[in-house]
Amino acid sequence: MGQRGTGKLAPSPELLKVSVFATPLGYWALLGRDKILYALTVGQPDARTAQSAFADPFDGLAIEQTVSDWYPELRQRLERYAAGDRVKFEDVKLHLPARTPFQQQIIDVTRKLKYGETITYGELAARAERPRAARAVGTVMSSNRFPIIIPCHRVVGAGGGLGGYSAPQGLSLKTQLLELEQR
């Protein structure tokens, strides 16, 4: 529905909004609405790439094409985190896609990892009461839409290996995040 007299359409509450911002760790972008996060991308090379990281439609919802600062409180917290401040994100509301009880358990355990804490895929599987499911943990981590919020960078391989990281900068960014949290 249009707003009378302006010639412009009123924003639809069904549109997801994008916020793009620069950090010392590349460009990051938030996607969501009503203080519910649908996705986060980190470590992008530029603002345009960060904005285009989300496919339209996303979870069946269209994305507003104009970048806005729709959730400034979260953006500011993420900026502080990327600058090296200890910031917690357990309270951030997430719109999670359908998942199995095991996937939800892995997400819940990962969200509880403390700043600077690392855990192996196998240890995470054991905490979720599935000690032989380390590979399945890796699968859950690789499909994480919420890096930093669900801190998958804190999950590492057995024997000191990093495992994987699906952000654009890959293991380089994972290393930077772990080093940032060790300072």
pLDDT confidence band for 154 (50 / 70 / 90): very high
Task: Please name every residue paired with 58 in a beta bridge, in sequence order, or none if there are none.
Answer: 61
User: So what's the pLDDT on residue 174?
Assistant: 92
Do the domain assignments include residue 132? yes
What confidence tens digit (pLDDT) does each residue in 6-33 have?
Answer: 445 455 557 999 999 999 999 999 999 9
Report residue 175: phi and psi, to 5°: -60, -45
Give the other-Cβ count within 10 Å of 63's Cβ. 18
How far CA 145 is from CA of 35, 130, 148, in Å, comes to 16, 23, 10
**DSSP assignment of 32-76:** EETTEEEEEEEEESSHHHHHTTS-SSBTTB-B-SS---S-HHHHH
Total domains present in the chain = 2
> Which residues have a catalytic role annotated?
152
> CA angle 107-150-53, nearest 5°?
115
Q: Which of 28, 55, 82 is the last residue of a domain?
A: 82
User: So what's the pLDDT on residue 164?
Assistant: 75
Whether the predicted pLDDT of 142 surpasses 70: yes
User: So what's the pLDDT on residue 161?
Assistant: 82
- Which residue do the tokens 């991308």 mark? 41
What confidence tens digit (pLDDT) does each residue in 90-134 have?
Answer: 999 999 989 999 999 999 999 999 999 999 999 999 999 999 999
| Rounded CA separation 20/31 (Å) | 9
Distance of CA 9 to the CA centre of its chain: 31
Do the domain assignments include residue 120? yes
DSSP 107: H
Domain enclosing residue 60, as ranges = 17-82
Residues 74 and 104 in one domain: no
Q: Which of 82, 108, 127 is the last residue of a domain?
A: 82
Task: Please name every residue paired with 18 in a beta bridge, in sequence order, or none if there are none.
Answer: 31
What confidence tens digit (pLDDT) does each residue in 37-94 have?
Answer: 999 999 999 999 999 999 888 988 999 989 999 999 999 999 999 999 999 999 999 9
